[in-house]
Structure 1
Amino acid sequence: MTSKRVLICGSIAFDTIMVFEGKFKDQILPDQVHILNVAFLVPSLRKDWGGCAGNIAYSLKMLGGNPVPMAAVGHDSTGYQERLNKLGIDTSCLRVVADEYTAQAFITTDLDDNQITAFHPGAMSHSHLNTVEQAGDVALGIIAPDGRDGMIQHAEQFAQAGIPFIFDPGQGLPMFGKPELTRFLELATFAAVNDYEAKMLCERTGLSLEDIAAKLEALVVTRGAEGSWVYHQGQRHTIPCVKAEQIADPTGCGDAYRGGLLYGLTEGMGVVEAAKLASLMGSLKIACKGPQNYHFTRDEIASRFESAFGHKPW
């Protein structure tokens, strides 16, 4: 049986990860930052497929879901699109902007795990050219970090089409003030944020987490190693963090979590059970470097779920 189609509005991006085998603080003179001119030798470099829409789609597809990423990509996206096609992921809603590069993040990490990141949005800034209507029949959606105008318009379009969706502002949250965030919460069915974003969301809207949850079917707050909270029907459910085999790279863990959440919701698991599956997907991802380099079968995922929670997920 074919799984229900899930529209994933968000970014498609390339991630370039570099490691500086020293400490930034030893190279930057605090009293000379007004004439800063530094270069870091980075012997270690890795290029990854990334972007929230790509990462979420990867997680959802691994579970047997039917993701449809909707994003604006650049003239350099051919290889990424070919990869998605090989994975069996629908690429019909990827719009190529011919005179732009695909969004790209350049991340340099030092030995203290400090990071300096440069992000080029490129084609992502044109995400508003895509419309929810063009995706056709969709059971559920998610608005992940993307171009500002695109996020606003896609929320309105989901609501107008009567399609339930998750509001997942992520690192895009600072782009919005109280009016926009309040409107997102009015339109959304669910919201998913990490603990830092949750505090920012409360500060910017003037609402408590309980107030925000009351506007939604459920609010999910991820808390790293502390697990996650699911606010649902006036209760706060604590979802434990599934112990990972190792801690290799947190990049993309939130997206893996959201893939699990989307799968559970489309398969009728209920939001609390879906969050348990989401927690497992995050733990599987964190043990591998890169946001799309972990590989597990449905049977393997089901076995690990049973070990973690004492019952089978399906």
Structure 2
Amino acid sequence: MRVAVTGSIATDHLMTFPGRFSEQLLADRLDRVSLSFLADNLEVRRGGVAANIAFGLGVLGLRPVLVGAVGADFEPYRVWLKDHGVDTDSVRVSASLHTARFVCTTDRAQNQIATFYAGAMAEARAIDLRDVVARTGRLDLVLVSPDDPEAMLRHTRACRDLGIPFAADPSQQLARLDGAEVRELVDGARFLFTNEYETALLLEKTGWSEAEVLRGVGAWVTTHGAAGVRIHGADRDTLAVPAVRADGVADPTGVGDAFRAGFLAGTLWGVPERCAAQLGCAVAATVLGSVGTQEYRLHRDSLLDRIRTTYGVGGTAALVTRLRGLA
């Protein structure tokens, strides 16, 4: 099974603030905010939504095709991704712009304030999925994740034209997209991914009810942090899967990307939807316990133990052979 992951490829600058953002925000001064948070430390890590998801899929033994735009500074990152099973030959390299940057500060309560510089990502709109398919052969699924908005729309249209199933993951770009654009990205998707806040924002942007969204997608996968994940669909019962408890919370950045990698891997393997979601939650818990979005390692026994402890032995039966390639 072949999957392409389109979207952002970036370098993450991750900082921690020992206090709480909420204690520094004055309710009657929010129209004139001027704050500086003294961070305790800085971690510079590889990131970007598409790269994070592709990394997770690669570590799980799939060979995902990464589709996005980067700067000439990308080469060491390319080697890293290739070493972890990611096909990077469809990544466009800009002649003039740097790879995107994500700068994020996390407070003591795990709230985050972030800024994203697009850089070379703006050139992703020049990528044609038809060229990707011509190089790789037929794709079984394309995940359209946050990217240059024109690129997201172009990739979605190409999937429809080529008859390739696609998953919509607009997440951070919901704030940038207008209602018509969100409706175009979502309609006809095999999967729609959002978190709880993005769910409300998507409904507001589109003007659709939840029922109207569900009529246009195969399944709506909503992550709820520590409360786990819910999968909705028209004419079917809602599937609720509890989160896997993390041993410790080191950094929440990239946890949603890790869930998507695990869930999509299980889906592409053809395991039951519940098992795919359980794998996604187990991978997410692993990432939550490490700093950075691609610094984690997946081990077969520890993943299966997490799933077995949270969901019982039935959760591992469909996955045990699929995870055979992990150490």
Superposed pair shares fold, TM > 0.5: yes
Q: Could you say if the C-alpha distance between residues 299 and 28 of structure 1 is closer, same or farther in structure 2, counting changes exceeding 3 Å?
A: closer
1:210 equivalent in structure 2: 211
1:91 equivalent in structure 2: 88
Cα distance, 1:156 vs structure 2: 0.4
1:167 equivalent in structure 2: 168
Does residue 263 (structure 1) correspond to residue 260 (structure 2)? The answer is: no
**Would you say the 8 A contact 2:255–2:293 is kept in 1?**
yes
Does residue 295 (structure 1) correspond to residue 262 (structure 2)? The answer is: no
Cα distance, 1:113 vs structure 2: 4.9
Write the mapping of 1:23-62 to structure 2, written as runs, cut at 5 A.
Answer: 36=34, 41-62=38-59
SS at match of 2:122: helix
- Bigger shift: residues 183-192 or 142-151: 183-192
1:184 equivalent in structure 2: 185
Write the mapping of 1:132-143 to structure 2, written as runs, cut at 5 A.
Answer: 132-136=129-133, 137=137, 138-143=139-144
SS at match of 1:76: helix
Q: Could you say if the C-alpha distance between residues 203 and 93 of structure 1 is closer, same or farther in structure 2, counting changes exceeding 3 Å?
A: same
Structure 1 residues without counterparts, runs of 5 or longer: none
Give the RMSD, CA atoms, in angstroms. Answer: 2.4
2:118 equivalent in structure 1: 121
Q: Could you say if the C-alpha distance between residues 250 and 24 of structure 1 is closer, same or farther in structure 2, counting changes exceeding 3 Å?
A: closer
Alpha-carbon distance in 2 for matches of 1:24, 1:306: 37
1:253 equivalent in structure 2: 255
**Would you say the 8 A contact 1:62–1:297 is kept in 2?**
no
SS at match of 2:68: strand
> Any idea what the Cα deviations from partners look like across 1:254-276, whole Å, max 9, x if unmatched?
10011012111211124333222
- Matched to 2:288, the amino acid is I
SS at match of 1:219: strand
Q: Could you say if the C-alpha distance between residues 162 and 270 of structure 1 is closer, same or farther in structure 2, counting changes exceeding 3 Å?
A: farther
**Would you say the 8 A contact 1:64–1:298 is kept in 2?**
no
Alpha-carbon distance in 2 for matches of 1:306, 1:28: 43
Alpha-carbon distance in 2 for matches of 1:91, 1:107: 26
Q: Could you say if the C-alpha distance between residues 34 and 276 of structure 1 is closer, same or farther in structure 2, counting changes exceeding 3 Å?
A: closer
Cα distance, 1:28 vs structure 2: 8.5
Cα distance, 1:150 vs structure 2: 0.3
Which TM-score applies when normalising by structure 1? 0.90
Alpha-carbon distance in 2 for matches of 1:13, 1:126: 14
Q: 1:108 aligns with which of 105, 123, 129?
A: 105
- Bigger shift: residues 149-158 or 23-32: 23-32
- Matched to 1:127, the amino acid is A
Q: Could you say if the C-alpha distance between residues 290 and 179 of structure 1 is closer, same or farther in structure 2, counting changes exceeding 3 Å?
A: same
SS at match of 1:90: coil
Q: Could you say if the C-alpha distance between residues 238 and 97 of structure 1 is closer, same or farther in structure 2, counting changes exceeding 3 Å?
A: same
Alpha-carbon distance in 1 for matches of 2:23, 2:265: 46
Alpha-carbon distance in 2 for matches of 1:132, 1:117: 30
Structure 2 residues without counterparts, runs of 5 or longer: 320-327
2:223 equivalent in structure 1: 222
Identity level (%): 34
SS at match of 1:64: coil
SS at match of 1:105: strand
Alpha-carbon distance in 1 for matches of 2:33, 2:60: 51
- Matched to 2:250, the amino acid is A
- Matched to 1:175, the amino acid is R
> What is the aligned residue count?
310
Alpha-carbon distance in 2 for matches of 1:241, 1:39: 34
